[in-house]
Amino acid sequence: MQVNIVCSLFILDSEQNENIRKNANPYLKVLLNKNGMLPSLEFNGGEIEKLIRNYIKDLIHSNIFYLKQVYTKNYEKSIDIIYVALTNIENIKKLHIDYELKKVEISEDFITLDKNKYNYKEDLQEQGYELDIKDRKVKRTIQNLLISYYYVKKNLDDTDIIFNFMKQYFTLEEVRLAYELIKNKNVDKSNFRKRIIKYCEKSNINTNSKNGFRPSQMYKLK
């Protein structure tokens, strides 16, 4: 049986908010090849994490990303060892010619990938997600994306995983907006700040002050 190492690389990007006082609106992208498939390697022996880490590094020309094995999924004729990777758009220097970034949105019951919307529901018996998709390759991509995404979502509250989406220096507001994006819900600003500040330390730089607005304090991960 063929064994594949598959990686869902989620990238935090943003677009400028019309209100200059506010942070840019964040959104997620995912790395796919020209056939719409996730980065994948056939495993024939060796150190699995080193193999996929070096492969992703070659695809984005950067080694600044979080990487974690999250699941092993059995399919009809093969097995996928699923990894999730996280980074910020600023860490990606150059993409491999055969790969591109596609916007992805995930809610409680549907996922939109490259403008294609797919409904899903959790399949507790199969420990996966039910998808009404005839194309097996597309279905497999969406399945692996959902497994990876929910691993990140599940670990947001008890770990510092959210900071892997941040640039080297960030505001607490940027962290909150990224958290709300992944969780798909709003949080109380004050309570959120108290909870995450333990992971942060102040930097000696501030955001640029534009149009007379007070600059924001920048932080970095401890």
Q: What is the CATH number of the domain that holds 207?
A: 1.10.10.10
Helix (H, G, I), strand (E, B) or coil at 214: coil
162 is a domain residue? no
Containing structural domain, residue 11: 2-154
Domain count, the chain: 2
Report yes or no: 151 and 158 within 8 Å, Cβ to Cβ: no
Residue 188 lies in a domain: yes
Task: Based on the fold, state whether residues 6 and 96 are members of the same structural domain.
Answer: yes
For residues 73 and 177, state if they share a domain. no
Do 173 and 82 have their domain in common?
no
7 within domain boundaries: yes
- Mean pLDDT of each 10-residue bin along the chain, 222 residues long: 96 76 82 96 95 98 97 88 98 95 95 94 79 92 95 95 96 96 95 95 73 75 92
Select from 99, 111, 112 the least CA-distant residue to 33: 99
Q: What pLDDT, on a 0 to 100 scale, did the predictor assign at position 84?
A: 98
According to DSSP, residue 155 is labeled T
Question: Does 161 reside within a domain?
Answer: no
Q: Measuring CA to CA, which residue among 177, 179, 168, 159 is closest to residue 219?
A: 168
Q: Which amino acid is at 89?
A: I
pTM for the complete prediction? 0.92
- Which residues share a beta bridge with 171? none
Give the pairing type, strands 2-15 and 40-42.
antiparallel
Q: Does residue 108 share a domain with residue 77?
A: yes
Q: How far apart are CA 65 and CA 76, in angstroms?
A: 31
